[in-house]
Structure 1
């Protein structure tokens, strides 16, 4: 079967955003307004910042402006893997912040639990399932790497269950799976758009003033506070939290540190009982394979399979444009990989195919900073692992705006910045060379060439 035939009816839109529970848009801001805290951006990062600010001080007047609609971008179209990790995985954290990794792992676990507690406190129904994540090996060399990771994490209080080929296939049956490790507690599956909409409602319930279709266009000092120009007016605020992530920051000096990299995903039709039984998957874990160009996949609440990843596409000059959200050559490639992984599902159709930009930085994990003498703060660069980490980022941004020394603000991870990307055309050429090198490593038992070794030494990275 030609994999492309499975895509003929796929809608070019994120599956999650078509949920019938999608709320009606809120009115735009027309004219000027004043507030204590302005949050720019209505994704997870902005929503958590607004909500946590009100929880800390209910008397605070908080305004959130969003250029489109709440949760419409990465927060509403991602894979729905909500991980405890604040460092884009244990390996990245061990490489960059080994001295504080025990602390980071504890903070990450507490952050994940705080998210779960928040869902209960506000009655947010977002298909939350604390089923964990299973990382699988599809090449023999990857088994050694997974076993090494399982041994490394134990002293840091992280428990991974090592599975051989038969044990993995008893969980999820694919002829390509050779073994794996299962983090049973550190990852939850979630309906990403419902999470964003639930946080939006929680913010409104706490008195946050949210204005949608209100694009922030300029930022400047105004007396002892700040002024942000919007589509139809201005917001005067004592403090400003920026949560625009993949979109160009209002702070120009932040822009060289973040590039938009496009990630793509497919969603199948719901699997009937027979098809679901053919692959098992009774424990509903999220899965990822262990290649540099990896896939991530999971079950939805109605037993569809989301299948994403592999291609990570950077466009010259890094412009975020809606036409980049569709890439037929990537969808066909993903469909082929899907049926190679699950040949027993031949004939299954894909109902949705979509893509979008991820805010990528050279250290993979988010970075933080302030500007305008502490009146403005930001967290950005989550690199595809922001579903959970954005809440920690919100707490940190609020600490920075308050000028407080906390356990979070004292972290090296928070105090240090990543390396910036070089200007064009070197940026595009470097990313393309890195992608080619990663693909080559996947085809040669993981062996990294001189370019990748040099990037490792310099602290540069590239990931989907």
Structure 2
């Protein structure tokens, strides 16, 4: 049953149009100074102060403490995808096991091992550097909300068990015993997925990078790269820095390297954050294990409890704006109203809960859902982009790949097919816009009916997808 529209409106009445994670003045560090003036020098310049850039800077200094590293962020640290996501920390490098098998059947075991090792190394790094990012590993429940999603959940369970992942299958009653919703019909529990406060993670990694000797500059927009006498001159709004090597980790913001527009597509994902739930409200839904939750549709929700008992609720819509437009004015939309309605459909017993924050972020998706890697400027620049919303952990791996590529190292990760081969490029506009609209409509139809139409089957055959 759909909730009363007046109740939905009331739940959003006081929601601040800002990102909860970074809207905490007592926690957010003071801004770092911009880079000004010409004549600066560095061994490595990292462009982008999100997770990829921060992990690249930290790992570069851990590899070689004498390496002079500069990190340039065009705004404030954490203002883009790295500070706007749900904080789900999955060990997968391939957007899930099924996608890994579909794309890299001969490498999937290696990719799964590397993902597990990357996850463990992330946790170890946080401990070693004393980064308090509320990191914990309660696991994730994927839940069937419709009858045709029940076999989908069962198939996911069997696939993971066949590949040695210790997942559990849950009946409707078992799922509701963990988290009580009248919508839940079945579930699969993956104990390997963690949760983190992404704002604290960004700030903690930046502080760790600075302790290692990285020079971090905010409010420093890079405008161009020039090759000059065997080096790269990184030009900014207010100055420049000459570097031997450059790592580019700018996510959906791809203007500095035009070729990235072939492989990445910027889509908006919307998020709500509730007020802290009272013990009585929590008692209505259970959720004592604090698992991360997601549903099994193409257009899926992801939701979680924070350590202060708020509920983050996001996903479902994946909005692409012609012709790949990114604009802060697009962040507030009717998608938030849709999310609030869906929240109350899943948890009708939480009627009366208010949301304190509403925001959106841009996801850099690729046609295969996995990142794209490569080099430019004669090998002196390497890039890692296209995490498709699953980058909290895999950005650490992507940074490792980019560092190995830019240093010309022949390593296990640079030999991977996922690294060496590019995804299918997206078509030019306006075909791209039409293809996205057709795909979204087809995915929504499959969610309603359980049937995959000819358009989606064609995309499957071509190795192309689109994910919310």
- TM normalised by structure 2 equals 0.97
The aligned runs of 1:408-427 (5 Å cut-off) are: 408-427=413-432
Aligned 8 A contact 1:102 1:157 in 2: no
Aligned to 1:18, what secondary structure does the other structure show? coil
Residues 25-36 of structure 1 aligned to structure 2 (within 5 Å)? 25-32=31-38, 33-36=40-43
Q: Which residue of 2 aligns with 1:449?
A: 453
- CA displacement at 1:157 relative to structure 2: 2.5
Deviation at 1:419, TM superposition (A): 1.0
Report the equivalent of 2:209. 203
Aligned residue number for residue 397 of structure 2? 392
Provide the C-alpha distance between the structure 2 equivalents of 1:157 and 1:91, rounded to a whole number of angstroms.
14
Counterpart in the other structure of 2:104: 97
Q: Residue 391 of structure 1: CA displacement?
A: 0.1
Correspondent of 1:180 among 179, 187, 203: 187
- Equivalent residue number for residue 462 of structure 1: 466
Structure 1 counterpart of 2:360: 355
Q: How many residues are aligned here? A: 461
Once residues 218 and 401 of structure 1 are traced to their aligned partners in structure 2, the CA distance between those partners, rounded to angstroms, is 18
- The aligned residue for residue 315 of structure 1 is 321
What secondary structure, in the 3-state scheme, does the structure 2 residue paired with 1:316 have? coil
Q: Which residue of 2 aligns with 1:112?
A: 119
Of 439, 442, 446, 1:437 maps to 442
Structure 1 residue 333 corresponds to structure 2 residue 343: no
| Cα distance in 2 for residues equivalent to 1:370 and 1:132 | 36
Counterpart contact for 2:76–2:218, Cα < 8 Å: yes
Residue 156 of structure 1 deviates from its aligned partner by: 2.4
Which residue in 2 is equivalent to 1:286? 292
Show the counterpart of 1:132. Answer: 139
Q: Report whether the alignment pairs 1:403 with 2:408.
A: yes
Structure 1 residue 401, shift from structure 2 partner: 1.2
**Equivalent residue, structure 2, for 1:77:** 84
- The answer on whether the counterparts of 1:11 and 1:351 sit within 8 Å (CA) in structure 2 is yes
1:231 pairs, out of 234, 237, 241, with 237
> How far apart are the structure 2 equivalents of 1:444 and 1:250?
42
Distance 2:163 2:230 in 1: 44
Kept in 1: contact 2:374–2:383 (CA 8 A):
yes
Write out the 4+ residue segments of structure 1 that deviate beyond 4 Å after TM superposition: none
Q: What is the root-mean-square deviation of aligned Cα atoms in Å?
A: 0.9
Deviation readout 1:159-197 (Å, 9 max, x if unpaired) = 211111111111111000011111112x11100110000
Aligned equivalents of 1:284, 1:204: Cα separation in 2: 33
Please say if residues 324 and 356 of structure 1, whose CA atoms lie closer than 8 Å, have aligned partners that are also in contact. no
User: Aligned with 2:281: secondary structure?
Assistant: helix
CA distance in 1, matches of 2:414, 2:394: 15
The answer to whether the 8 A contact 1:105-1:156 is kept is no
- 2:330 — aligned with what? 324
Offset of residue 319 of structure 1: 1.8
SS of match in other structure, 2:374: strand
**Contact 1:279–1:344 under 8 Å retained in 2:** yes
Where 1:336 maps in the other structure, the secondary structure is helix
In 2, the alpha carbon distance for the partners of 1:367 and 1:47 equals 18
Distance in 2 (CA, whole Å) between partners of 1:412 and 1:160 is: 28
Correspondent of 1:367 among 366, 369, 372: 372
| Equivalent residue for 2:13, pick from 8, 25, 32 | 8
| Distance of 2:255 and 2:467 partners within structure 1 | 21
Which TM-score applies when normalising by structure 1? 0.98
Indicate which of 200, 212, 220 corresponds to 1:214. Answer: 220
Bigger Cα displacement from structure 2, 34-43 vs 253-262:
253-262
CA shift, 1:420, in A, is 1.1
Structure 2 residue runs of 5 or longer lacking an equivalent are: none
Q: Which runs of 5+ in 1 are unaligned?
A: none
Question: Which deviates the most, 71-80 or 55-64?
Answer: 71-80
8 A Cα contact 1:43 1:75, kept in partner: yes
